[in-house]
Structure 1
Amino acid sequence: MPILTIFYIKLLINLGLTFGIIWTISRSDVFARWQAENEKLIFGLGFVLLRLIPWIGIFLIVNEDPRGDIPFFFYKAEAAKKGGFVYRDFWSYHAPLYAYIISLPVWIWHNSRAIVLFMVLMESGILWLTYQTYKKRTSNALQLAMIYYMLPAAFMYILVDGQEEVWFWGAALLIWRFTIKKPVDYEVGIGLLYALALLTIKVTFIFLLPATLVVVKKPVKMLLVMAAVGVPAVGFLYWQIGDLFLMPIQHTEQLMTPNLFSITRPFVETIIHINEKKSTLINWFGLLFTVFIPAYMAFKARHRHINEVLPGIFIACFVCMMIFQASAMGAYVIAYLMAVLFEVIDIRKSIHVVVLLAVNWLTVVQPFVWVYIKQPAYTSLGMFGNPSFLFEYALQILNVLCFFWILKETYRKVVYSENLATA
């Protein structure tokens, strides 16, 4: 099927999902009753109607091949299944255990579609755990869960493309739940969970660590626990493959969109030329803001317990990554989209709903347009004489503005809100 036809189909699906979200928002009383009486049935129906049946339709009936990163994931899963050693025998930009985890469904069904289904199941498991956590705090948690299933970005990037970034929130959620269940002396537990997350997902999960260390009561104890797991793991990798385990860091060198650098580049280039092949310094500069802003928020909220602020700090960390890292791309919104919906968005406020829908539509549309027009790097203002370039650049600006709005609302939630998380 032609890629342009697929894009038009995606737009129609997005439109249908948007109408579904608006209808769901208008039925708060109904969902509150369902949450009290039929939560498992409604959640299960949501999974079947909005994940399982579409997966069957796309990959079994229409027989579409998985797109996005799935072909690369399948390559890694196949190599891991054959007993290959990560980084030495096959390429991977993920943590060392990731390839072996995604090889599990391939043992059952040797097909890349199995990995997409696995991602869908993982997403739904994280959503169920998120719902179970938030239903103790709000009567509309089930309504939010169904809205999440209909968010265009989640639908497209996870169901269609099999992206794994939602695992970031899954790892943070496990850490958060541990601090809720064990509000004192939690450092050993969350240190172990954090170390396992770094061995499982991506090195970028380390961005959350500085802010976390600011709010924990015994940061040194947490670091020692992490070191007890991480140092032997790194030592074993170095013994086996030398410095090849640094391969995931190389993935951060490619300039992507949309982010603050990509929209300011036309103006930056009037002062200094950017060599895309030597852009590491730009990402290091962005890293300072990615780490400093969440850490500053954590410092401002240090009088509060970690289980009150961890979700907000997590959101701030990864939305800052998308704003300030020049290698950040739109798909990364999946990392914190679920958390934003449950923690920040108030569906009773129109502006919240508008931004939520806008960031979802933009995340689906902008990357396609950028790729379709040959991934331009806007190195001069004169390029905007091309209407296609100007349109795509405007989409980038709107996207980054949405990211800043999320950061602003998260800051207010973390620093000023006194709503306490409950066990």
Structure 2
Amino acid sequence: MSVVLAKLIISLLCILLVSVVLYFRPQITLGLKNKSVVGVLGTSWVLLRVLPFLLIYLWADYQPTSDVNGFWDEGSKASQGMLVYKDFWSPYSPLYAYYLGLWLKIWYSPKMIILTMAAMDGLALALTYQLFRYKTTKEDLLFKSLVYLLLPGSLVLCIVGAQEDIWMWLFVVGAYLTRKRYGVVGFSLVMALGVLMTKAIFGLALFPLFLIEKEKIRFLIPISIVGAISVVVLYLTVGMEFMQPLDEANVLRAPNILSVINPWAFNLVGLGAKAWNWIGLVITISAGCLTAWRLRKHEYPVMLAHLWVTMYGLMMIAQQSAYSNYLFLFLLPMVFEIIDWNNRKQIFLLFVFNVLAVIHPSMWWRQGMPIYLSPTDIFAIPDRTIDYFIQLGIVCVTLYFVWGSFPRKKK
């Protein structure tokens, strides 16, 4: 359990640093007022992404583990010209492995995967800054950027876990910023690229965004053409193997609503049944569509942030194949828009959310990915009891923030 302990220690240190930063917020914000945006963001990224990378992977010579090995397998084979889905298995969109392969041309090492994730995280942060420029002051945005970079949910999941989920937020923000300059066609093309570069679940965002889109035909045509060409090319080269990413929906993970309810129902909920996957998708997309519709008259960045946290936060605990690493998918809009930084309860629960989400995947996996069939399973050994209550905590805190981001009707 050394990895779990290391992640816990790093997470608690991060929380301590964020607490200090929040305590001195007035002084720090005042100091940021006359600083260069590029200078602050660049220096912060180097200190909180590049420096930890150098310390962990070069100075301590720690070898990447877990998901990095899978990414390395895909990226290295793609860099050699092998065919995705045919020559190697992939749960990601077709261009994902080839994009990693391009980075591996610079440095052919699994450690380059970590640097790639750090670079994409930095780009997502920079685009998020641009997204909210209209809404608040420069110093406020820089302060939130610093907090984001310090939170364990971003630092650990990026530098230790090498998670790519932040890419989805990067593409949707990039699509919106492209639209401001090139119109709805540019927006549609960047969204299409996002679908081809990330995961199938990125496509879920298309439903609510299409619902509120005023130029529906102009949005639909480019993305449909790109999609049709992609399907034809994939079918001609790999047959039906391009459906591999959809197999991820059949993998049981935790935590989710079903995983915490199942033992108290004595395994009568039908855990693993495909019907639950469809129910989860319907609930997730419906919540996303309702959020977008109710906020359709608000500024687009505000609507987008609430949509993202509501839909993907709910997906994290409604889908049987999701797990707590998905916090990385919606942490940026939480920090910049959803969290009230004057609300101590929200800040405390955000801290709890980050720590639990960071340590749970490693703990759960190292325990043999347990599934609880009855209350007896929960209390059989202390490790399982701790694991279950961490799952329960993650589900409850996720629901809290999903409910906070979901727009209710005004009385």
> Is 2:328 the counterpart of 1:334?
yes
- Alignment correspondent of 2:242: 245
In structure 2, the CA distance between the partners of 1:135 and 1:31, relative to structure 1 (3 Å rule), is farther
- Alignment correspondent of 1:147: 147
- Alignment correspondent of 1:63: 61
TM-score by length of 1: 0.91
State the distance in 2 between where 1:134 and 1:299 align: 20
Secondary structure (helix, strand or coil) at the match of 1:87 reads coil
In structure 2, the CA distance between the partners of 1:310 and 1:272, relative to structure 1 (3 Å rule), is closer
Q: 1:72 aligns with which of 67, 70, 80?
A: 70
Shift of 1:402: 1.1
State the distance in 1 between where 2:318 and 2:300 align: 25
> Is 2:394 the counterpart of 1:399?
yes
In structure 2, the CA distance between the partners of 1:31 and 1:215, relative to structure 1 (3 Å rule), is farther
Unaligned runs of 5+ in 2: none
Once the two structures are overlaid, the 10-residue window that deviates more, 22-31 or 64-73, is 22-31
Secondary structure (helix, strand or coil) at the match of 1:213 reads helix
Once the two structures are overlaid, the 10-residue window that deviates more, 261-270 or 202-211, is 261-270
8 A contact 2:266–2:375 mirrored in 1: no
- Alignment correspondent of 1:419: none
- Alignment correspondent of 2:198: 201
Shift of 1:175: 2.3
> Is 2:206 the counterpart of 1:212?
no
8 A contact 1:94–1:248 mirrored in 2: yes
8 A contact 1:215–1:305 mirrored in 2: no
Shift of 1:310: 1.8
* Superposition pairs of residues 11-22 of structure 1, within 5 angstroms: 11-22=8-19
State the distance in 2 between where 1:366 and 1:116 align: 20
Once the two structures are overlaid, the 10-residue window that deviates more, 216-225 or 311-320, is 216-225
- Tell me which amino acid in the other structure corresponds to 1:401: C
Unaligned runs of 5+ in 1: 417-423
- Tell me which amino acid in the other structure corresponds to 1:407: V
Secondary structure (helix, strand or coil) at the match of 1:108 reads coil
In structure 2, the CA distance between the partners of 1:272 and 1:229, relative to structure 1 (3 Å rule), is closer
- Alignment correspondent of 2:166: 166
- Alignment correspondent of 1:292: 286
Shift of 1:357: 0.5
User: Deviations 1:382-417 (Å, cap 9, x if unpaired)?
Assistant: 2233233222211111101111111111113x866x
- Tell me which amino acid in the other structure corresponds to 1:197: G
Q: 1:93 aligns with which of 75, 91, 114?
A: 91
TM-score by length of 2: 0.93
> Is 2:153 the counterpart of 1:175?
no
State the distance in 1 between where 2:409 and 2:172 align: 19
Shift of 1:295: 0.9
CA RMSD of aligned residues (A): 1.9
> Is 2:367 the counterpart of 1:373?
yes
Q: 1:190 aligns with which of 181, 187, 191?
A: 187
8 A contact 1:214–1:302 mirrored in 2: no
8 A contact 1:68–1:162 mirrored in 2: no
State the distance in 1 between where 2:294 and 2:217 align: 20
- Alignment correspondent of 1:420: none
State the distance in 1 between where 2:400 and 2:293 align: 21
Secondary structure (helix, strand or coil) at the match of 2:33 reads helix
Shift of 1:195: 0.9
User: How high is the sequence identity, in percent, across the aligned residues?
Assistant: 27
8 A contact 1:301–1:415 mirrored in 2: no
State the distance in 2 between where 1:408 and 1:13 align: 29
Q: Aligned residue pairs: how many?
A: 406
In structure 2, the CA distance between the partners of 1:372 and 1:82, relative to structure 1 (3 Å rule), is closer
